Amino acid sequence: MDPASFMQGLTRETAIRRDALGRWFHDGQPLEHPNLERAFDRWVERAEDGRYCLKNDINWAYIALEGAPFFVRTVQLLPDGVDLCLSDDRTERLDPSSLREGPDGALYCEVRGGTLPARFDRHAMQQLEALLREDDRGVYLALGASKIRPPRVADPLTHKSPA
Arithmetic mean of pLDDT, 82-99? 95
Residue 103, classed as helix, strand or coil, is coil
> If pLDDT is split at 50, 70 and 90, which confidence band does 134 have?
confident
**Separation CA 69–CA 76 (nearest Å):** 21
pLDDT of residue 144: 83
**Separation CA 159–CA 102 (nearest Å):** 10
Residue 25 φ/ψ, nearest 5 degrees: -135, 150
In this structure, the number of other CB atoms found within 10 A of the CB of residue 121 comes to: 17
- Please state, rounded to an integer, the average pLDDT across all residues of the chain: 88
**Separation CA 19–CA 71 (nearest Å):** 12
Arithmetic mean of pLDDT, 103-114? 92
